[in-house]
Amino acid sequence: MTLQEVARVAGVSPRTVSNVVNGYEHVAPRTREQVQAVIDALGYRANAAARSLRTGRTGLLGLVVPALDQPYFAELARAVVREATGAGFTVVVDQTDGDPDRERELLLQGPRGAMFDGLVLSPLALTARDLLDADATRPVVLLGERTVDTAFDHVHIDNVAAARAAAEHLIGTGRRRIAAIGLQTEAHTGRQRAEGFMLALAEAGLPAHPHLLRYVEAYDRASGFAAMSAMLDGDLRPDAVFCFNDMLAIGALRACLTRGVRVPGDVAVMGFDDVEEVRYTTPSLSSVRPDRDAIARVAVGRLVARVERRADGVGPAQDVTVPHELVLRESTGPA
């Protein structure tokens, strides 16, 4: 079932059928009607491969995340797919498991990468070097702050300010031995949240005891559980803990309850991301809520603008900060 056949049946040229299919304006209403009737009758669908070959575009956007089964990325993916669909694009989701090679390969349009018109990349392990070396031929939007002067658009929340606000809230409710779980040596996110946390402590004149600063390998429940358990088994017990994402916080919460440590009575727990799950833990978790819909909207918007070479799609890389807010629930006690 090709455009040619439709043209033959409708008694017009392929050109005219193409015009109808693509909603070209200058087609006689009567002609359009007749052609459309034939299209419907024959159930004709344009061949995506042929169209791509001809136009050089695929209608595919890539979304690259560390892992789809992490609730934050699953929720983000949902939002991105919705946005892209609205803009007439289809989303291909790729998982990297934080493998730098895979992230790099996708950034540089490896085997699969060549297929996309554009890419939303949530890098976990990409270095400044990678970003500077990257000479991508297609538009790329990076999620996360712009740490180095690249040609890529960036979309992010203000992680430093968000973490600082979270820590300030804990301090404001009278907590004094405040711990942090989720520090990382490399990853930008972990470093920025640590920075905000430290700023709040310094500002309040509180010490940052090494025992209360916990590095983790991964931002998952198991790591949060392990880190909190280790902390509770030590001599210096925190009276509050700020976890750099919700999964860590859920693991930490479980560690507390398992040991009979009351939350928020003995320890206040604060998470980050505000995934759906934290509303249903017991106690429910306070968290920092990035405006996920805004992230998806802006990221897809920038990408589509560049792919379609719209007026707002040319020019230098943009750096967009979207809002976040502190969501207070039971785990941090009454304000």
> Within 198-217, which residues bind a copy of itself (CB under 8 A)?
none
> Within 222-261, which residues bind a copy of itself (CB under 8 A)?
225, 250-251, 253-254, 257-258
- Going by the DSSP 8-state scheme, the letter that residue 45 receives in this structure is -
Binding partner at 42 among DNA, a copy of itself, none, C-beta below 5 to 8 Å by kind: none
Nearest to DNA of 27, 119 (CB atom):
27
Binding partner at 59 among a copy of itself, DNA, none, C-beta below 5 to 8 Å by kind: a copy of itself
Q: Which string of b and e fits 35-57 if b means at least 16 CB within 10 Å?
A: beebbeeeebeeeeeebeeeeee
Residue from 33, 37, 41, 50 touching DNA (CB under 7 A): that is: 50
Say whether residue 25 binds a copy of itself (CB under 8 A): no
Say whether residue 127 binds a copy of itself (CB under 8 A): no
Burial class of residue 149 (count of CB atoms within 10 Å of its CB; 0-12, 13-18, 19+): exposed
The rounded distance, in Å, linking the Cα atoms of 39 and 161 is 56
The rounded distance, in Å, linking the Cα atoms of 275 and 277 is 5
**Residue 227 in tokens:** 């880190």
The rounded distance, in Å, linking the Cα atoms of 2 and 259 is 68
Say whether residue 18 binds a copy of itself (CB under 8 A): no
Classified as helix, coil or strand, 189 is helix
Say whether residue 53 binds DNA (CB under 7 A): yes
Say whether residue 221 binds a copy of itself (CB under 8 A): yes
Site string for a copy of itself, 262-301 (x = CB under 8 A): --------------xx-xxxx-x-----------------
Say whether residue 39 binds DNA (CB under 7 A): no
Nearest to a copy of itself of 18, 284 (CB atom):
284
Beta bridge partners, 63, equal: 93, 120
Neighbours of 232 (CB within 10 A): 20
Q: Where along the sequence are the contacts to DNA (CB under 7 A)?
A: 2-4, 11-16, 18-19, 21-22, 26-28, 30-32, 44-47, 50-51, 53-55
